[in-house]
Amino acid sequence: MKKFSNLLFAAFALSASAPAFAQQAEIQYFRPNDQKGIHVFETPKEDTVAFKGLAVRIGGHFSQTFQGISHSNVADTNAAYRLKEITPGFNLATANFNIDVQLADGVRLNLVTYLSSRHHSETWVKAGFIQFDKLTFLNSALIDNAMQYLTIRAGQMQMNYGDAQFRRADNGNGMYSPFVGNIILDAFDTQIGTEIVFQNKGWLGMVAVSSGENKGLVTPGPNISNDPNKSKAPALYLKAGYDKQMDEDLRLRLTGSLYSTASSARNYLYDGDRAGSRYYLVMENEAASTASPHYSGHFIPGYNDQVTAIMINPFVKYRGLEFFGTFETASGRSHNEIDSRPVQQLAGELIYRFGKSEQVFIGGRYNKVTGTLAGAAATEIDIDRMQVGAGWFLTPNILLKGEYVNQNYNGFTTANRFAGGNFNGFMLEAAVGF
């Protein structure tokens, strides 16, 4: 915590001593960290900020949650599956430290550091990338013309697979999500790679390649070093869609995404949120700690070797009413499996925002996951969740929100802590973004 406090002090000292440098610097092709960042997906191609030289923007996200959830199962007669006792209380406050740098005209750098998170209470880097929306230093009229429609991003970064990752809570960043918890099958990871995005008159397309891993790795990896049938392979991911403000009241967006890798030392597409779930210790056994396991309430299919996934996301906003949906189907396997196993997800959320600047919102989400567990039994299971919530932006930088959540586990055998499982209750969150 001392390191955490020192970093916070340094950030605020810099902001206070140089407001034009830290607070007022305008960054090109940038998603705002506050309420203005809602409904922003890929960073826009509109050139609305004049380049005035090197500029640095210091920002941050902070979240504090209060949890009042209870859980139960039918396997608690076995000590190994007995659930940990949980009571209402505050969870660990989480924080992100954001640095955005305008390096040149149309060239910017982003670095996000987790100052405090559930899985790692110490400071550590989430990811960083460089983004090119112009390549004027190449002195090519042909390239300059092409870059009116292209964005190139490279580094270790949050992958642009699907649209749900644009509306999720990310450690200290709770500003973009209308709910406290993320969806059950939470596709999110930071991988080393390059993305090329095309945008023109509402049409968008992306082609990208990554390492397939969430860390640098120049050895075969412990899971595949002794297996001649396994190897490391890059991951390819694609996106195509249409996003258009049809008139003053109506916006339509529909995208489809594909992610595929033939083999990995350790793939984290569905367990790449190393910061951790918003639901602390729900459905965890007595041996669990606050920090680990950190995916409480999520479903991890165990595709650590091979995975192919497709996600389709419709988004409709008419005045203050919006619908966002997720349909996802995936198959994959672990290193000790021969055949792939399927999983599917459906999620739909309906939100109504009102007030002069749509600063107040209410809404609900239904989410269901079906899939096949690993093992000889190949058990078919399903998990369903209902969330109802509301929120209020006191200012564009301060958000208060709460939700009621109810999640059920079906099809799990009694040799599993999820057998007959349920958790339900309320979550409250205060979030700041700047």
The residue-averaged pLDDT of 252-268 equals: 94
Q: What is the pLDDT of residues 236-249, one digit of tens each?
A: 999 999 999 999 99
Per-residue model confidence (pLDDT) at position 159: 96
Per-residue model confidence (pLDDT) at position 10: 42
The residue-averaged pLDDT of 280-291 equals: 90
Asked whether the beta carbons of 86 and 281 are under 8 A apart, the reply is: yes
**Top-ranked range on mean pLDDT: pick from 20-29, 94-103, 271-280:** 94-103
* pTM (two decimals): 0.90
Per-residue model confidence (pLDDT) at position 12: 40
Among the residue ranges 27-41, 87-101, 280-294, the one predicted with the least confidence is 280-294
* SS3 per residue for 27-74: CCCCCCCCHHHCCCCCCCCCCCCCCCCCEEEEEEEEEEEEEEEEEECC
All structural domains of the chain, each given as residue ranges with its CATH number in brackets, are 2-433 (2.40.160.10)
- pLDDT at residue 165 tops 50: yes
Mean pLDDT score of the chain, rounded to an integer? 90
The residue-averaged pLDDT of 269-281 equals: 92
- pLDDT at residue 415 tops 70: yes
- pLDDT at residue 11 tops 50: no
Distances (CA, A) of 79 to 82, 202, 304, 415: 5, 56, 28, 11
Q: What is the pLDDT of residues 112-126, one digit of tens each?
A: 999 999 988 789 999
Where is pLDDT greater, at 257 or 217? 257
Per-residue model confidence (pLDDT) at position 215: 82
